[in-house]
Amino acid sequence: MDFSSVQGKAAIVTGASRGIGEAIARVYGGHGMKVVCAARSQDKGQAVADEICAKGGDAIFIRTDCSSPEAIKALVDAAVAHYGRLDGVVSNAGIGMGGTPLHEYDLDEYDKIFDLNSKGVFAGMKYGAETIFRTHSQGGFLINVASIAGLMPQRGQALYTATKFGVVGMTRAAALDYAKYGITVNAICPGYTKTSIFGDAPEAAMDFFASDCPAGRMGDPRECAYLALFLASDMARYITGAAIPVDGALSAGHQNISSWKHPELVTGEKLSAESTIAAIMDSQAGAAIVEKYLPGFAANEQVKQAYGMTFKALAPMLGLPEQVLESMLSELNSL
């Protein structure tokens, strides 16, 4: 992959002092972009910018309250004053809030989360787009870090979900506004990702998040960061208005119980009485053993529904004398 097209581009990354924002800032800096790191934390944000520069990159830190449109405008102005241009804005700063039914939220909590997660993103897009036009950027981009909560509602997350649905909606509408003018607008929708947003969550909670994901693990912030790099590059100029999940298939649909008929495809295990019936019946030698003890088994359409099971598990339903069953299982173990 050739990311030379991003070299020299000046981009703002909000919430750059930690988590996904920090990862994006570091990846941008590592690929030759000029990075304006913005966050509330002076010490952590400055440290990120300093480390990018120490590795040969170009970055500055500007302390910013991203819930304030005035502060966002000042951030954009400061970025242009320093780098003379602006090519992109990654609106990543946001807060989580939830775990309770809607009626238990307070009105001040509504204001707090919408000020940062919604109004802050709007301001980043508004002042970012204006400045990208004004500084005549070629290949301008706006990237909003939303959430899978912006694609699928989550219980106990009414306000957070509302803000993220709003971010996805603004992203898509703005993409229509700017597609003709060469500015791409996309949203990244992370799933369970290992960041400080989980705070001191107990190990059991972290295990739940991993097990709830079809991929069986939580994401790494860099997996979002490299998508943000791709979206900033010339390779993604025809991608706009997209809300892209980075979630290990969590938002793809509801998980259900399923079983593999051919797990040996990934386990590499040899055939035995512990193998699935499907795997044994696909083996000429295995099918011969089964036909020897269970004539007509392969032609029984009803039985085929149980091909994901093993003969050992199916044994009580086969009606074979115990000694005969043991002989069949023994022969299957010798495959």
Encode the chain (335 residues) as per-residue pLDDT tens digits.
789 999 999 999 999 999 999 999 999 999 999 999 999 999 999 999 999 999 999 999 999 999 999 999 999 999 999 999 999 999 999 999 888 999 999 999 999 999 999 999 999 999 999 999 999 999 999 999 999 999 999 899 999 999 999 999 999 999 999 999 999 999 999 999 988 767 666 788 788 888 889 999 999 999 999 999 999 999 999 999 999 999 999 999 877 777 788 888 888 889 888 898 999 999 999 999 999 999 988 888 877 778 888 888 877 777 888 888 899 999 999 99
* Helix (H), strand (E), coil (C) string for 107-123: HHHHHHHHHHHHHHHHH
Tell whether 328 and 232 lie within a shared domain. Answer: no
pLDDT number for residue 299: 87
User: How many alpha carbons fall within 13 Å on the CB side of residue 26?
Assistant: 18
Tell whether 317 and 288 lie within a shared domain. Answer: yes
Tell whether 291 and 176 lie within a shared domain. Answer: no
Tell whether 173 and 221 lie within a shared domain. Answer: yes
Tell whether 87 and 211 lie within a shared domain. Answer: yes
pLDDT number for residue 256: 73
Tell whether 202 and 268 lie within a shared domain. Answer: no
Beta sheet of 58-63, edge-to-edge order: 58-63, 34-39, 10-14, 88-91, 141-145, 184-190, 243-246
Q: What is the value of pTM for the model shown?
A: 0.85
160 annotated active-site: yes
pLDDT number for residue 199: 65
Boundary residue ending a domain (246, 279, 308): 246
Q: Identify the H or E element spanning 145.
A: strand 141-145
Q: Is residue 258 part of a domain?
A: no
Centre a 10 Å sphere on the Cβ of residue 168 and count the other Cβ atoms it contains.
Answer: 19
> Residue 244: helix, strand or coil by DSSP?
strand
Q: Find the CATH number of the domain harbouring 97.
A: 3.40.50.720
Boundary residue ending a domain (194, 217, 246): 246
Give the integer Cα–Cα distance in Å for 209 and 195: 13
Q: Is residue 254 part of a domain?
A: no
Burial 143-152 (b: 16+ CB within 10 A, else e): bbbbbbbbbb
Tell whether 217 and 77 lie within a shared domain. Answer: yes
Biggest alpha carbon distance in the chain?
A: 87
Are the CB atoms for 205 and 232 separated by under 8 Å?
A: no
Q: Is residue 121 part of a domain?
A: yes
27: left (phi over 0), alpha (psi -120 to 50) or beta: alpha
Q: Is residue 242 part of a domain?
A: yes
Give the integer Cα–Cα distance in Å for 127 and 99: 33
User: Cα 321 vs. chain centroid, distance in angstroms?
Assistant: 53
pLDDT number for residue 98: 80
> Residue 37: helix, strand or coil by DSSP?
strand
Tell whether 221 and 297 lie within a shared domain. Answer: no
Nearest to 228 by CA among 88, 124, 121: 88
Q: Which of 28, 83, 127, 160 is catalytic?
A: 160
Are the CB atoms for 90 and 146 separated by under 8 Å?
A: no
Tell whether 215 and 318 lie within a shared domain. Answer: no
Are the CB atoms for 305 and 277 separated by under 8 Å?
A: no
Tell whether 177 and 296 lie within a shared domain. Answer: no
Boundary residue ending a domain (246, 273, 296): 246
Tell whether 204 and 286 lie within a shared domain. Answer: no
pLDDT number for residue 266: 86
Tell whether 22 and 137 lie within a shared domain. Answer: yes
- What is the number of structural domains in the chain? 2
Q: Which domain holds residue 177?
A: 4-246
Joined together, the tokens standing for residue 282 give 């696909």
- In the numeric block, the tokens 């051919």 are attached to 262
Q: Is residue 304 part of a domain?
A: yes
Q: Identify the H or E element spanning 190.
A: strand 184-190
